[in-house]
Every structure is written in C-alpha cells, then in structure tokens.
Structure 1
Amino acid sequence: MKALVYTGPKSAEVLDVTEPLPKEGAVKVRMKYCGICGSDMGIYLGTHPRAKAPLIFGHEFLGTVEEDGKKFKKGDRVVAFPLLSCGHCLPCRTGNAHVCNTLGLIGIDVDGGICEYAYVDEDVMFKVPDGVSDKAAAVIEPLAVIVRSIHQAKMKALDICVVIGAGPIGMITGMMLVHMGAGKVFISDVDDKKLEKAKAFGMIPVNVKNENLEQIVKAATAGEGADLLFECSGAEIAALQMTDITRVGGTICMTAVHKHPHMVNLRDLNFKEQILIGTRVYTKEEFAQAVTYSEVINEDLENIVSHVVSLKDSPKVFDMIADPSAGTCKVLVDCQDF
C-alpha cells in the first residue's frame, strides 16, 4: 500500500509499504483524511526528539471501518484517540495518563495514518456523528487540544479573551471561545489572510506588525486587560508580552509548546497575582467531548480546512505550509488520492 513516510531530515516520500497485519482487538480502517500538525513539521525537519525514520506520518486521521469488530461495524466513520500511555507511572496511576512520563503518540512513536489502511485498536476509536462532514471530522483531534486548553483556563461566559497566534490551533481556540460565549475574542498575528479568516469566525483581528495588541485590549477593557490569554504562537515576544496584556488576577494558558526557554515577566505574575497554566494534549474524555461537539460546530470546523492535498503530492505539503504566500490554515492529506 501507499504511505507518506519520513525518511530522514527534510525528506518525506510516498512509498510502497507492507500492508498491516490483523491484530487482536483491532479492526482494519481505510484512511480518508489526515491532518498535518505542527509536530509533523518537526518530524519532517528532523527536530522532533522521538520520531525516528522510517516512520509513517499522521495522528489526526479519519477513516472508515472495513470489517465488523466487537464495537464497530463495517462502514462506520471513525477517528482515533492517538495517545500512548504506559499505565504504570505516577501520572497514569493518578488519572493523568494524558501526561504520562513516557507519553507517546501514533504517528510519532509508531506508524501513523497517512496511508491507505491501518489496523486500529477498537478501544481508542470513536464513531463520527452523522452530521459531521469528512473534512470537519479530520479536525477533531486538534479540537480536543482546545477543549483541554479551555478547561485548563476555566473560561467563563463574557470573559474578554486574547489569542496570540492565528495558526490552526489559535484559530480553533478563538472559534471555540466565540461559540462558548466570550465577551470579546481578540486574535493577533502578522498574516492578514489568517486574520481575515479569524474575523469571519467572529474574532477581533489585530495585526501586530502595525498595531499594538496591549493598547487595543486595554482600550476595550477600561485599561484593565484581558481576563484570559491563550498563547498559541510559541513566539519569544509573546512570552514576554503576555503578562502585560492580561489583567490583575487574569489567567494565561500556555497552549503553544515553546521549543526554547523564553523570557517571562515573573514580576508581573507576582504583582498582578496572575495564573499561568500549561496544557499539553487532552484526556480520553475530552477527546470524546470534541467528537460530540464537532457536530455543533461542523461548518466552522470544515471552514478551518484551507487545503486538501493528494497522497501522491503529499511530500510537498511541508514546504507549502512553511510558505506564507500559500495561505494555509489547516491542511489535510487525502489518503485515497494516489
């Protein structure tokens, strides 16, 4: 079968690989779409600390069950909870398996879903609601990341929220905050195309190339600042400015993973008694909630998808995402188009 395989730093190829063998507790799934994540970009560049070549990319996949199993029937559309936990460490023993000490993921630590077929454990699969399109279903995994992030931040109705970074995660964060009744949602970036899309989702766009985010937010809040700030960019300047933009007693949620240590104004954190909280992935319950909620926001999730690339052209996807002129938001690979 055909698969998109990481073959070394800055090298991805569509290769003929051996079709997977049946295994106990798993059913054969015909892959339809798989999203490209920031972690896939890291794998491609050779900077991911765990991914080793050769490796089939992809953990954000949608597929169709090819055979009856114990829990699923042939024809069911499914997505998969992709986390791999040890079950024995302290986090796993205390209900926090999603931050297992040796956490792994499908598509990073084992072969992923950008391929024609895979055997997927029934215990990690979820049936996609009938009212969810194929494209929207392929965005359920990143939606689960945001469900967790919003839970961590303890968002309340009418909160004034700021999202830094209008990439796919920032865009879905802002979209969810709008749906959940935020008072205002400001989103910042340097890309006008991304900010135009964010405005269409009900956010207030701020291009920080020529506008001052802190001034704009404080002007809208009688000089106080945001109730909640979601850092979704991973940028050094965002880490330094986020305490300025957030009010006394406000919450900063670190949704982006910062690859290097960055300066943070810890004095602000003290003097303004702010809450700084991290978030990583999601629990299995939160993944299930994302599956359910995808039907409510199906149209918006579908509109997050900016490009669909065929499996045969998928090696080009990494350069396309890295090119600002390409205007990508969420990119999917069509695993059956080869």
Structure 2
Amino acid sequence: MKALVYTGPKKAEVLECKEPIKSDGKIKIDIKYCGVCGSDIGIFLGTHPRAKAPLILGHEFLGIVAENGRLFKKGDRVVAYPLISCHHCLACRNGNEHVCNTLKLIGIDTDGGMAQTIYVDENILFKVPEQVSDKAAVTVEPLAVLVHALHMVDMHVLDTAVISGAGPIGLLCGLMLKHAGADKVFISDVAEKRLAIAEQLNLTPVNLKKENLLEVVKKATDNEGCDVFFECSGAADPAMQMSEITRVRGRICIVAVHKAPHEVNLRDINFKEQTVVGTRVYTKDEFGKAVNLTAELEKDLEKIVTHIVPLSESNKVFDIIANLDNGSAKVVVDCQK
C-alpha cells in the first residue's frame, strides 16, 4: 500500500509500504481522508519529542470499514479516537485518560492514517452521520479539541471572545463559540486569506498588520476587555498580551501547544483575578460529541477545509501549509488517490 512516511527531519515521502497485519480485536479500515495537524508539522520538522522515523503520519482520519466486525459492518463510514492511554496512572484511574502520564497517539507513537489502509481497535471507532459529507467529517478530531476547550473554560452565552490565531484550530474555535452562543468573536492573524475564511464564518477578523488587537477589543467593550480569550497561535506576543486584552475576572484558555516558554504578565492575572486554563486534546465522550456536531455544522466545517491533496502528491502538504499566501487552513490528504 502507499503511505506518507516521515523518514527524517524535513523529509516526508510517499512510499510503498507493507500492508498492516490483522491482530485480535482490530478491524481493517480503508482510509478516505486524513487531515494534516500541527503536530504532523512538528514531526516533519524533526522537533517532535516522541515521533521516530520511519513513521506513517496522520491521526485525523476518516475511513470505510473493509470487513465485518463485532461492532461495525463492512461499508460503515467511521472516524477514530486516536489517543492511547496506559489506564494505570493517577490521571487514568481518575477518569482523565486524555491527560495520561504517558499519553500516546496513533500517527505519532504508532503508524497512522495517511495511508490506504489501517487496522485499529473497534472500540475507538465512531460511525459518522450518513448525511454528513466526507469533507466535514474529516474535521472531527480537531473539532473535538474545541469541544473540550469550551467545556474547560466554562463558556457563557453572549460572551465576547477573542481568538489569537486563525489557523484551523482558531477557525474551529470561532465556529464553536458562535454555535455556543457567543455575542462578538474577534479573531486575529496576519494571513489575510485565513481572515477571509473567518469572515465567512461570521467572526470579526483583526488583521495584525493593519490593526491593534487591544485597541479593537477595548473599543468594542467599553474599555473593559473580552470575557474569554483563546490562545490558538502558539506565539510569544499573544502570551504576553492575553491578560491585558481580557477583562477583570475574565477567562483565558490556552489551546495551542507552546513549543517554548513565553513571558506572561502574572501581575495582570493577579490584579484582575483572571482564570487561566490549560487544555489538552479531548475526552472520548467529547470526541463523540464532535462526531454528532458535524451534522449541525457541516457547511461551515467544509469552509475550513481549503486543500485536498491526493496521497500520491502528499509529500507537498507541508509546503502548502508553510505558504501563507495560498490561503490554506485545513489541508487534507485523499488517501484513495
């Protein structure tokens, strides 16, 4: 079978690989689409702390069940919950398997879904609603990240929200905030084409090349600041500014994984009695909720998928993502082409 394989720093190659071997409790999936995640970029660059070459990339995959199993039948369209937990550490014993002390993921610690086929445990699969398009269904995994983030930050109806970063996670964050009843949602970035997608999602874009985010938010909130701030960029400047942009007793949610320590204004957090919440992936229940949400959000989810690249040319996906001028948001690999 063909697969996109990480073969070393800044090297991803489409290779002919051995078909995966069936084992007890696993079922064969023919992969349709697989999304490219920020963690895949880190693997490609050689900076991911766990991923080792050679590795088949991809944990955001949608596929068709290729054989009858215990829970699913041939032809079912499914997505996979990709987290691998130990089930023994304190976090796991307390029901927090998603923050397991030794958390692993398919596509990072084991071969993933940017391939023509894969075998996975049936108990990690979720059936996709029949009416939902493939293009929308492939966004389930990153959508689950935002379902979890909104649960963690205690989102309120009619909140004014600010999102730093209009990449796929930032755009999905805005979509979820609107769905949850937020009043104003500002989203900042320097990539104009991504901000144009944000506008299509009924978000208020802030182009940092032309506007000052603090001034925009203060003007819109009688100089008070936003109710909730979502840091989705992973950059240094928003880490320093987020407490200033957020109001007294406001909430700050760290969604992006920051690759290096960044300065934070702890005095602001003290004096304004702000709450800062960290988030990491999602629970299995939240993943299931994201599956169901695709039926309600289908048309907007499709807007976030900007590029579908055939598997045969998938070695180009990281160049596509790196080029901000081409308007890429969510890039997806079509594993049947």
For the superposition of Structure 1 and Structure 2, which TM-score range results when normalised by the shorter chain?
over 0.9
SS for the counterpart of 2:269 is helix
| TM-aligned CA deviation for residue 279 of structure 1 | 0.3
Matches within 5 A, 1:277-316: 277-316=277-316
SS for the counterpart of 2:296 is coil
What is the total number of aligned residue pairs between the two structures? Answer: 337
- Aligned pair 1:91/2:91, yes or no? yes
Aligned residue in 1 for 2:21: 21
SS for the counterpart of 2:32 is strand
**CA–CA distance in 1 between the matches of 2:262 and 2:224?**
25
Matches within 5 A, 1:99-178: 99-178=99-178
- Aligned pair 1:2/2:2, yes or no? yes
Q: Which runs of 5+ in 1 are unaligned?
A: none
Per-residue CA deviation, residues 40-82 of structure 1 (Å, 9 max, x unaligned), is 0000000000000000000000000011100001100000000
Is the contact made by 1:2 and 1:15 (CA closer than 8 Å) also made in structure 2?
yes
What residue identity is the alignment partner of 1:300?
D
Identity of aligned residues (%): 62
List 4+ stretches of structure 1 deviating above 4 A. Answer: none
SS for the counterpart of 1:297 is helix
Matches within 5 A, 1:253-264: 253-264=253-264
Is the contact made by 1:59 and 1:82 (CA closer than 8 Å) also made in structure 2?
yes
**CA–CA distance in 2 between the matches of 1:257 and 1:111?**
22
Per-residue CA deviation, residues 212-247 of structure 1 (Å, 9 max, x unaligned), is 111111111111100000000011000000001000
What residue identity is the alignment partner of 2:188?
S
**CA–CA distance in 2 between the matches of 1:189 and 1:17?**
39
| TM-aligned CA deviation for residue 191 of structure 1 | 1.1
| TM-aligned CA deviation for residue 192 of structure 1 | 1.2
- Aligned pair 1:252/2:245, yes or no? no
Scaled by the length of structure 1, the TM-score of the pair is 0.99
Choose 263-272 or 177-186, whichever is displaced more.
Answer: 177-186
Scaled by the length of structure 2, the TM-score of the pair is 0.99
SS for the counterpart of 1:61 is strand
What residue identity is the alignment partner of 2:79?
V
| TM-aligned CA deviation for residue 130 of structure 1 | 0.9
Aligned residue in 1 for 2:191: 191
| TM-aligned CA deviation for residue 302 of structure 1 | 1.1
**CA–CA distance in 1 between the matches of 2:262 and 2:132?**
39
**CA–CA distance in 1 between the matches of 2:202 and 2:179?**
9
**CA–CA distance in 2 between the matches of 1:306 and 1:82?**
23
Is the contact made by 2:193 and 2:326 (CA closer than 8 Å) also made in structure 1?
no
**CA–CA distance in 2 between the matches of 1:208 and 1:318?**
24
SS for the counterpart of 2:319 is helix
Aligned residue in 1 for 2:61: 61
Aligned residue in 1 for 2:231: 231
What residue identity is the alignment partner of 1:13?
E
Aligned residue in 1 for 2:243: 243
- Aligned pair 1:52/2:52, yes or no? yes
**CA–CA distance in 1 between the matches of 2:181 and 2:40?**
32
| TM-aligned CA deviation for residue 327 of structure 1 | 1.4
Is the contact made by 2:35 and 2:59 (CA closer than 8 Å) also made in structure 1?
yes
| TM-aligned CA deviation for residue 175 of structure 1 | 0.9
What residue identity is the alignment partner of 1:229?
F
| TM-aligned CA deviation for residue 272 of structure 1 | 0.1
Choose 70-79 or 13-22, whichever is displaced more.
Answer: 13-22
What residue identity is the alignment partner of 1:134?
D
Q: Which runs of 5+ in 2 are unaligned?
A: none
**CA–CA distance in 2 between the matches of 1:257 and 1:22?**
34
Per-residue CA deviation, residues 245-270 of structure 1 (Å, 9 max, x unaligned), is 00000000000111000000000000
Is the contact made by 2:186 and 2:203 (CA closer than 8 Å) also made in structure 1?
yes
- Aligned pair 1:265/2:261, yes or no? no
| TM-aligned CA deviation for residue 320 of structure 1 | 1.2
Is the contact made by 1:229 and 1:246 (CA closer than 8 Å) also made in structure 2?
yes
SS for the counterpart of 2:152 is helix
Per-residue CA deviation, residues 162-212 of structure 1 (Å, 9 max, x unaligned), is 000000000000011112110100000011111111011010111111211
What residue identity is the alignment partner of 1:297?
L
Aligned residue in 1 for 2:210: 210
SS for the counterpart of 1:289 is helix
| TM-aligned CA deviation for residue 156 of structure 1 | 0.8
SS for the counterpart of 1:51 is coil
